[in-house]
A = this chain, B = another copy of it.
Amino acid sequence: MIQTLEWTDSGVRFVDQTKLPTEEIYVTSKTYQQVADAIRTMIVRGAPAIGVAAAMGIALGVRDSKAETVAELEKEFNDICEVIGQTRPTAVNLFWAIQRMREKFERLRVRPVSQIKQELTEEAKRMHAEDIAANQAMGNHGATLMPSAGGVLTHCNAGALATAGYGTALGVIRAAVAQGKKIHVYADETRPFLQGARLTAWELMKDGIPTTVISDNMAGAMMRQGKIGAIVVGADRIAANGDVANKIGTYTVAVLAKENNIPFYVAAPISTVDLACPDGSKIPIEQRNTREVSHIAGKQMVPDGVSIENPAFDVTPAKYVSAIVTERGIALAPYEESLRSLAGADVQVQV
């Protein structure tokens, strides 16, 4: 079992995803500021994992607070949420997690400080466990959509490493494989951060699921050659109308899928659905440091003075999305209705 992140007495322990696949190194963030840094520098990444990391970071900050009254603690709590909330703008799970911790705090404010600290820690650990359970439920729903055999393409890493465990898109693939489906995964390397080459390939190798890594610009050729029977990706935020923000390049994969009559599926927990966001044009897109594009493994690949763009995400319009797999079931178009119905359903995931 891959331990993407876990709560320990000394802090939040992460596998350092910037070092994989050649080095499997674990680092412990001992303060909430260190958790914020881990999110910002992508030691931990992937929308659901960012959400859980945020909750754990808040719990850590609260636990270590010197506040003696609830009023003092609340002030610190707000400061902590502010710092955590400014790490990455696109993944809505970050804000969902902060909001959930905030609501928990509200319900606990009549309790003593020590109990608030304890229960916020429990809440963060619960969110970790719930995320794994949600991914397993998602996997079981989504596995029915996978072909019985053949190539399935994924982009970026929406696996155990992007979540508390099991994965969203890779959870769907894992569940399909567990059901006996003979799937060969094609993993886009996913420039500039190479999550596909480094992370998706690494965790699928651990599970013995056959995997081929390709550069992003090969996906079209693979589809045209008939090697890909389905596509499944994760999401960082899904608007109310079904528009999907996900890793840069997802839109391209979706357009290629449509052109080649290949189903394009998105797998994400309900916490990724942002009903307050009417459509994809309202989703903030993070621009990251251009050095991620210009330098690879420390080597300069772009001449000095050239402009570089580095949007971390793009938006895939809902019309390209064949289905959205959540832990509560599969949403089909029109997504405005199906997502609201699933999100509104007060279904409890069993942990």
Contact = CB atoms under 8 A, between A and B. Distances in A.
A215 B302 contact: no
A283 interface: no
Contact of A215 (B192, B224, B255): B192
A197 B301 contact: yes
B248 A198 contact: no
Interface stretch (A46-54, A67-75, A157-165, A204-212): A204-212
Q: Label chain A's interface by main secondary structure.
A: mixed
A279 interface: no
Nearest to A301: B197
A42 B216 CA distance: 21
B308 A249 contact: no
A314 interface: yes
B248 A308 contact: no
Nearest to A205: B303
A234 B197 CA distance: 28
Given A201-B302, A259-B259, A307 B191 contact: no
Contact of A219 (B210, B219, B252, B307): B252
Contact of A216 (B197, B217, B299): B217
Interface in A157-204: 188-192, 194, 197-198, 201-202
Given A249-B220, A297-B299, A302-B197, A308 B205 contact: no
A25 interface: no
Given A21-B303, A300-B22, A301-B198, A218 B255 contact: no
Given A219-B252, A252-B220, A212 B303 contact: no
A222 B248 CA distance: 11
A309 interface: yes
Contacts of A256: 252, 255
Nearest to A227: B309
Nearest to A303: B21
A145 interface: no
